Structure 1
Amino acid sequence: MNTPLSSPLPAIACIGGGNMGQAIIAGLLQLDHPPHITVIDPSPEVAERFHSNGTLAQSVTVSAQPEDVSEAEIVLFAVKPQLGAQVAASYAPYLHHDHLLVSILAGVSCAGLREWFPQVRCVVRTMPNTPMMVGSGMVGVCSDGVSEEDLQRVEAVFQPAAVVMRLAEKHFDVLTALSGSGPAYVFHFAEGLYTAAIKAGIPQETARILVRQTLFGSARFLDIRDKDSCDFVAPLLREQVTSPGGTTAAALEVLSNNDWNSHLQAAVQAAAHRSQELRES
């Protein structure tokens, strides 16, 4: 369990106002005492998105000026990874020793962040995922010489919208492949179920409900049962659904014959390898 902060969060600046940045901010605004938040992004579309949202417009300052980052204590670095070095060069002159830098960029190590922002006192690397946009995210956190108090601050930034877990940085490539990219695997699976339903003649709206509720209910079932178990309960839950010679057994036999489990493991390994390539490039 993460230890709650004993005091409210200080002012936060978010460099980048894309989907993930907006998801983090929406979570922060759920706090009893939300911090002052400034979003810094040169895009007029980002400014319009925040200004058109009543809650965000009242609670968040939007700026296009990099120097405004200096007024915050915590700086969220929330741009696309391929733009990281370019954006960092524009903002680095305005960051100082007392800033706590929190990055959500995939494939950029703590060492890489320190190269971009050498004057910053504390650097924390995180890996969130897109379900954070609906308050059900997963965030991995690692740091390079950061105090317990600062780690608790970082956890408090994400906790309104996600489960937060501390991991050693050596595990971040696999973390990226599993929880970072993992939602895409689930959505791809959902596409397959939906297509199968449509081909079988199920009406589109009915198929959508069937797929959504099957995945939601299964995930909820796993979540509840696994929390009270010493071992991962997915195999047991699968066996409970599978009667010998029944419909589920027939389906699982097809998946097994096509080496579906091995293909899934290979996909995770490929994503982890790509994360490593991005980190080393």
Structure 2
Amino acid sequence: MAVTSPDVFKLGFVGAGNMAESIARGVVKSGVLPAQAIRTSHHREDRRAVFKSFGVEILESSGQVVSDSDIVILSVKPQVAKKVLLELKPLFSDDKVLVSIAAGIKLTDLQEWSGQRRIIRVMPNTPSAVGVAASVMCMGDMATKKDEERVVSLFGAIGKIWMADEKYFDAVTGLSGSGPAYIYIAIEAMADGGVAAGLPRDLALSLASQTVLGAAAMVSNTGKHPGQLKDAVTSPAGTTIAGIHELEKGGFRGTLISAVTAAAKRCRELSN
């Protein structure tokens, strides 16, 4: 059973989409905050109902959310972030913290549009929905140690979080932000390979997804380099090296590297 943290503060979401929902659910489930300490608003009844279903308070407007929150998470689409923050600017104050998860929006822009000085930028990814997000954060100049601790507790509730300089955020977006899509394609392709080799579709997909999950856990939990783990599976003249040979002929490594760098480049273009 979750036990609520003694450091209870009011958390508001401006934007009540899937990522906001994942964060809010994780925060409540882990006991970082009680549901009644969280608030949001949305014009659609179905989105309001989702948050109500696990106890989040629904307010009438984003302005009310900002006014009634200690930490405000900006979880709107990047293309509307400027408009939203300019509208909410009169409601921000020095006793509040603005946390942005909008991809590509820099700290300087967030400060200019909101007038807020205590700002933290976080880049989570979609596995937050199942509690295994990879999130990276960077601190604005005026954010405090207490702000950092609270934000780490929030995003630690949905996975793992690392600190990095803002200059790395475009690359973070290209790797962990967009990365789940690359892995979904790999799982789908592996399952198709299983079907081509004679497996039933449901078994092939289950084996492919569990294999990726297990391989990721091996890297994360053992601390060994993935090349070392790969070599341990690769027997001389065996099945695995035959498969790896095909991957190398197809440019598998180079294609993944290009995917990450292309996504990072696109993020850089959008942020500029």
TM-score, normalising length: structure 1: 0.89
Q: Which range moved further: 194-203 or 240-249?
A: 194-203
Q: Which range moved further: 174-183 or 39-48?
A: 39-48
Query: Identity rate of aligned residues, in percent?
Result: 33
In structure 2, what residue type is equivalent to 1:110? L
Q: Does 1:242 align with 2:261?
A: no
Q: Report Cα offsets for 1:111-148 as digits up to 9, x if no partner.
A: 11112101x23011100011111111111000121222
Moved over 3 A (4+): none
What is the Cα deviation at residue 215 of structure 1? 1.1
Q: Does 1:141 align with 2:141?
A: no
> Is residue 27–residue 33 contact of structure 2 (8 Å, CA) maintained in 1?
yes
- Give the corresponding residue for 1:50: 51
Q: Does 1:185 align with 2:186?
A: no
What is the Cα deviation at residue 33 of structure 1? 5.5
1:269 to 252, 256, 261: 261
* Mapping for residues 188-267 of structure 1, pairs under 5 Å: 188-226=185-223, 229=224, 233-267=225-259
What is the Cα deviation at residue 277 of structure 1? 0.7
Q: Report Cα offsets for 1:25-72 as digits up to 9, x if no partner.
A: 011102446150001222323112223x3xx1xx21112312212111
What is the Cα deviation at residue 90 of structure 1? 2.9
Partners of 2:32 and 2:163 lie apart in 1 by 25
- Give the corresponding residue for 1:22: 21
Which secondary structure state, in structure 1, belongs to the residue aligned with residue 218 of structure 2? helix
1:155 to 152, 155, 161: 152
In structure 1, what residue type is equivalent to 2:120? V
Partners of 1:33 and 1:78 lie apart in 2 by 19
Partners of 1:9 and 1:122 lie apart in 2 by 19
- Give the corresponding residue for 1:65: 61
Q: Does 1:97 align with 2:89?
A: no
> Is residue 40–residue 62 contact of structure 2 (8 Å, CA) maintained in 1?
no
Which secondary structure state, in structure 2, belongs to the residue aligned with residue 29 of structure 1? helix
What is the Cα deviation at residue 156 of structure 1? 1.2
Partners of 1:122 and 1:143 lie apart in 2 by 9
Partners of 1:33 and 1:158 lie apart in 2 by 10
TM-score, normalising length: structure 2: 0.92
Gaps of 5+ in 2: none
Which secondary structure state, in structure 2, belongs to the residue aligned with residue 108 of structure 1? coil
CA RMSD of aligned residues (A): 1.6
> Is residue 66–residue 90 contact of structure 1 (8 Å, CA) maintained in 2?
no
Which secondary structure state, in structure 1, belongs to the residue aligned with residue 93 of structure 2? coil
Q: Which range moved further: 59-68 or 263-272?
A: 59-68
Q: Which range moved further: 89-98 or 166-175?
A: 89-98
In structure 2, what residue type is equivalent to 1:255? L
Partners of 1:195 and 1:215 lie apart in 2 by 15
What is the Cα deviation at residue 95 of structure 1? 1.9
> Is residue 43–residue 64 contact of structure 1 (8 Å, CA) maintained in 2?
no
What is the Cα deviation at residue 245 of structure 1? 1.5
Partners of 2:43 and 2:266 lie apart in 1 by 29
Gaps of 5+ in 1: 1-5
Which secondary structure state, in structure 1, belongs to the residue aligned with residue 29 of structure 2? coil
Q: Report Cα offsets for 1:75-99 as digits up to 9, x if no partner.
A: 0001111221222233223222221
In structure 1, what residue type is equivalent to 2:264? A
In structure 1, what residue type is equivalent to 2:28? L
Which secondary structure state, in structure 2, belongs to the residue aligned with residue 75 of structure 1? strand
What is the Cα deviation at residue 201 of structure 1? 2.8
Partners of 1:65 and 1:237 lie apart in 2 by 51
Q: Report Cα offsets for 1:193-250 as digits up to 9, x if no partner.
A: 1111223331121112111211111111222111xx5xxx100110111112111111
2:164 to 167, 171, 174: 167
In structure 2, what residue type is equivalent to 1:214? T
Matched pairs, number: 264
